[in-house]
Amino acid sequence: MTIQPTLNHDLLPTWDLSDLYPSMTCPELKNDFSTLEQKVGDFSALHKGKLATLTAPEMLDVIKKYEVMEETMGRIMSYAGLLHAGDVMDADISKFYQSCHERLTELSTKVLFLTLEINQIDDKILEHWFQDSADLKRYRPWFDSVRLYRPHQLDEKLEELLMEKSVSGSAAWVRLFDETMADLKFDYTDPKTQETTIIGSEEALNYLSDKQAPVRKAAAACLSKTFAKNIRLFSHITNTLAKDKQIEDSWRHYTAPSASRHLSNQVEKEVVDALVSAVKAAYPKLSHRYYKMKAGWFGQDTLDWWDRNAPLPDSDDLLYQWPDAQKTVLDAYRRFSPELADIGTKFFDNAWIDAPVREGKSPGAFAHPTVPGAHPYLLLNYLGKTRDVMTLAHELGHGVHQVLAGPQGQLLADTPLTLAETASVFGEMLTFQSLLNDAPDDRQRKNMIAAKVEDMLNTVVRQIAFYDFEERVHAARKESELSADDLGDIWMAVQQESLGDGIAFDDSYRTFWCYIPHFIHSPFYVYAYAFGDCLVNSLYATYQNSPDGFQQKYMDMLRAGGSLRHKELLSPFGLDASAPDFWATGLNMISDMIDQLE
């Protein structure tokens, strides 16, 4: 493997979105919009108000027509969304993205009656339908998901109003957040030369894991300064979205701000509460213990907050060129399952990945499933560090999962968030174990285990702390609008509780809640990461103890997509997330790694 001191950016791939549409003005897109508008009009005229009177074959025909329309809408919005993510600041792309969003919302409103009427149909009628048609019964998980919302459904006109208003309401605030964050500039002062350069958020955040302590401190200073300048806007966005959610939740009679997320994840509140309680109870033996130990490795009693992700003092400053990262991940996948690696290879061979950091590009990383008739795309901001290799392994896991689930179709391919993180985190674990096995000596093994522990703490402890932050913010927002100081107080409280006295905080960290996109895009999403990590730890332990037949069970779980629930999917492995001791198994794996380091 060739590991060089500087990253060769020419080797980084960019995606080709022409598998969705050739361009924003192409005839194919115009034709899809025209056909879709005709189908929506015909569908509404033919079926609205009549669903309860249909036979099973007639209802099957309705569902298949609806699925076709949903896939076309998904293809258009996926194309617009991926274009926008590639360059958030391009005015023409932003205009195109917003226009597509508005047109598709208008069309979705016209077919909204389908799910509303399904929720008004008597259970006996549905059972007769499923008995009369095996093909319709295949869609039962989708019907069940729709009917979960029966207690929270409003009358048709209100539902239509909320959907139409979302374009100028919550979606508009989310777009403002994205465009503001992508446009932020940070004045970074080089600690050696004292020269100041303007950098983007990805580069600034990357410096927080630089090997040189002065670089990390300078990065923290420039991030804090720019966040503080913009904190009133981010506070206003947060307050507005929290209030918007509170109003809608009240109308829908949700018992808690997180209740709708649990419903969409198809996971019981008791299971999430058990996870959160288990992680919080484990803070002392996990994050508190580890960061005190890490501070000791640096010869200190505590670490400044900007040193939390610092490489260990004797770590190598390695950079993985893109071909090396690709080989590392695919080899790890192949050792587990050749099929898994073969699917993963398609992403590299077919321009399905956008890897370079560039101005205007969305920060972070994601895997977008698009639609079953196409294929997923991955967005990365690759900088060549070990964590970037792990991010590639993570997002490729999502992508492979989405490919395997695709044959389930538009309505059944999507996996609830709690299980959607399984393949991604499992991919990380495979890659980590592969790198660990290839480590040449104990020093590198120690550094790699420490890096993995930190990844797990970021995935489990940090994400549960984020969830705790959201719960406190939404609870406080019910009482009054929150100032930037109020939000900073809540942020600092949960950070100190979760990370312990091994980390020293000062006021410069008070604004760092503002750049977490999940708080804005998907309220209460974050516990899915902890769910997935603990679940994968239990899965991997099962794999190590009983490898025979595990690969096939695992691949079958991924292929199921959203056609099965978490209890059904985990049953073949002898796992049950609702069992009282389930989460302890996953958390003990992290604790055992810390024991090794101690």
Task: Tell me how far apart the alpha carbons of residues 275 and 124 are, in angstroms, rounded to a whole number.
Answer: 36
Output the 3-class SS for 98-136. Answer: HHHHHHHHHHHHHCCHHHHHHCCCCHHHHHHHHHHCHHH
The answer as to whether 575 is a domain residue is: no
- Backbone dihedral angles phi then psi of residue 412, each to the nearest 5 degrees: -120, -5
Determine the 3-state secondary structure of 7 from DSSP.
coil
Task: Tell me how far apart the alpha carbons of residues 505 and 492 are, in angstroms, rounded to a whole number.
Answer: 8
Task: Tell me how far apart the alpha carbons of residues 197 and 329 are, in angstroms, rounded to a whole number.
Answer: 34
The answer as to whether 34 is a domain residue is: yes
Domain count, the chain: 1
Q: Are 558 and 413 in contact (CB under 8 A)?
A: no
The answer as to whether 504 is a domain residue is: no
Q: Give residues with Cβ within 8 angstroms of 581, minimum separation 6.
A: none
The answer as to whether 584 is a domain residue is: no
Query: Which secondary structure element, helix H or strand E, spans residue 199, and what is its range?
Result: strand 196-199
The one-letter amino acid code at 247 reads I
The answer as to whether 71 is a domain residue is: yes
The answer as to whether 208 is a domain residue is: no
Work out the burial of residue 358: count CB atoms within 10 Å of its CB; fewer than 13 is exposed, 13-18 middle, 19 or more buried: middle
Range of the domain at 80: 17-168
The answer as to whether 426 is a domain residue is: no
Which domain CATH number covers 47?
Answer: 1.20.140.70
Q: Are 235 and 482 in contact (CB under 8 A)?
A: yes
- Beta-strand (E) ranges in 398-536? 503-504
**565, 561, 563, 564: which is closest to 406 by C-alpha?**
561
Beginning with the edge strand found earlier in the chain, give each strand of the sheet holding 353-354 in spatial order. 353-354, 377-379, 366-368
Task: Tell me how far apart the alpha carbons of residues 412 and 563 are, in angstroms, rounded to a whole number.
Answer: 6
- Backbone dihedral angles phi then psi of residue 353, each to the nearest 5 degrees: -125, 135
Number of Cβ within 10 Å of residue 29's Cβ equals 20
Tens of pLDDT, residue by residue, the chain (598 residues): 334 468 999 999 999 999 999 999 999 999 999 999 999 999 999 999 999 999 999 999 999 999 999 999 999 999 999 999 999 999 999 999 999 999 999 999 999 999 999 999 999 999 999 999 999 999 999 999 999 999 999 999 999 999 999 999 999 999 999 999 999 999 999 999 999 999 999 899 999 999 999 999 999 999 999 999 999 999 999 999 999 999 999 999 999 999 999 999 888 899 999 999 999 999 999 999 999 999 999 999 999 999 999 998 888 777 899 999 999 999 999 999 999 999 999 999 999 999 999 999 998 999 999 999 999 999 999 999 888 999 999 999 999 999 999 999 999 999 887 788 899 999 999 999 999 998 888 888 998 899 999 999 999 999 999 999 999 999 999 999 999 999 999 999 999 999 999 999 999 999 999 999 999 999 999 999 999 899 998 899 899 888 999 999 999 999 999 998 878 888 999 988 888 788 988 899 999 999 999 8
The answer as to whether 194 is a domain residue is: no
